[in-house]
Amino acid sequence: MNVTVWSNMAADRWLSISCSVLIGVLLLAGCLPIPVVPHGLGVVPDKEAFESLRPGVTTRADVLLLLGEPNHRFDDDRFLMYEWTVAYGYVIVGGYTQAYPIPVAAPHYLCLEFGLDSRLVRNEHLIGSLYAKPDKAIRRCTKQSEELDESGEK
Amino acid sequence: MKTIQINTLERLYVTIQLILSMIIITGCLGGCVTAQKVDPSTVSKYEGFIHDGETTKQEIQDRLGPAQSIYENGGILVYYVYLQDDGRMNLKGPGTCHACVLVFDKDNVLERHSLVKHGCR
């Protein structure tokens, strides 16, 4: 009876230790991302400012006065795009003496379209997939509002 | 005397929680800066000649040179500026780059302006 209890306890302990070691090895080897509260990296546009933008009211000048220079300008400034990065986790890489946290991050875009009267027609917050390049977001952003209406994407 | 035993798995959880806390704190404290508009009077304070409704585009271009970016056929100019420790605005670094945005009316007189901290791209 005692032997059975001991063997069960030993098995549990063995399993716990194995799991711990495996998780530890994966974390240290950079195979498991450590999740964190999503936060911006680098320069992030002022959230309050971009939430205050109103289609039909806000002008291109208002946007520039509030947010500064955009990262991308298209079609004679009909489209302006602000870009920033949000980290969702970190992967620890390194050797015995040094370790570096590498962010698991995705690009975010604020896409703004203006009409002929310089007023805001459309503002969209686009989120790219992890480590995505801006090409897809740029294609989506520079689709004019009418095209999005027609294709039902809006 | 009561002894509390902490098994290996609990120790690992504590270690992971410590690592997570450190990363969260690091991320929150040092992760990013916000591009933010500051009080327009700040620019006038640093560069006394910039006043809404008074300063002309020509005056600004004479003093500051060509703008880094031009929008709406020259109706909006953006200058990259660096705030020095003595409170002066400089067109060259070192330091953090801020965007000085100047909006002109049809008569090329300054209508509105702002300083967006970290507003350069």
Pairing of strands B110-117, B32-38: antiparallel
pLDDT higher at A14 or A47? A47
Give the residue on B whose Cα is nearest the Cα of A49: B36
Asked if residue A48 and residue A20 are part of one domain, the reply reads no
Asked if residue A145 and residue A112 are part of one domain, the reply reads yes
Does residue B7 sit at the A interface (CB-CB below 8 Å)? yes
pLDDT at A55: 95
Asked if residue A78 and residue A22 are part of one domain, the reply reads no
Ramachandran angles phi, psi of B47, nearest 5°? -120, 95
List the single best residue of A39, A78, A83, A109 to mutate versus B (max B Cβ within 10 A).
A39
Asked if residue A56 and residue A18 are part of one domain, the reply reads no
The answer to whether B37 contacts A64, with C-beta atoms less than 8 Å apart, is: no
List CB contacts of B68: < 8 A, sequence separation 6 or more.
Answer: A69, B78, B79, B80, B120
List the single best residue of B25, B76, B81 to mutate versus A (max A Cβ within 10 A).
B76
What tokens appear for A84 in the block? 């920033």
pLDDT tens digits for range A17-40: 776 776 666 665 556 677 888 888
One-letter amino acid of B110: L
The answer to whether A43 contacts B8, with C-beta atoms less than 8 Å apart, is: no
Which helix (H) or strand (E) segment holds residue A37: the answer is: strand A34-45
Give the residue on B whose Cα is nearest the Cα of A100: B23
Report the helix count and the strand count for chain B, using DSSP H and E.
3, 6
pLDDT at B44: 58
pLDDT tens digits for range A71-128: 999 999 999 999 999 988 888 777 667 777 888 889 999 999 999 999 999 999 999 8
List CB contacts of A116: < 8 A, sequence separation 6 or more.
Answer: none
For tokens 């400089």, the residue is: B90
Asked if residue A94 and residue A66 are part of one domain, the reply reads yes
Asked if residue A24 and residue A83 are part of one domain, the reply reads no
Asked if residue A27 and residue A81 are part of one domain, the reply reads no
Lowest mean pLDDT among A12-16, A24-28, A68-72: A24-28
Number of domains in chain A: 2
Lowest mean pLDDT among A11-15, A113-117, B105-109: A11-15
Does residue A40 sit at the B interface (CB-CB below 8 Å)? yes
Asked if residue A51 and residue A19 are part of one domain, the reply reads no
Asked if residue A44 and residue A16 are part of one domain, the reply reads no
How far A152 CA sits from the closest chain B CA (Å)? Answer: 31
Ramachandran angles phi, psi of B116, nearest 5°? -100, 110
Task: Identify the three-state secondary structure at position A17.
Answer: helix
Supply the range of the domain harboring residue A11.
1-32
pLDDT tens digits for range B59-86: 999 998 999 999 999 999 999 998 877 6
What tokens appear for A114 in the block? 């203006």
Asked if residue A65 and residue A43 are part of one domain, the reply reads yes
What tokens appear for B55 in the block? 């300063």
What tokens appear for B102 in the block? 């100047």
Does residue B9 sit at the A interface (CB-CB below 8 Å)? yes
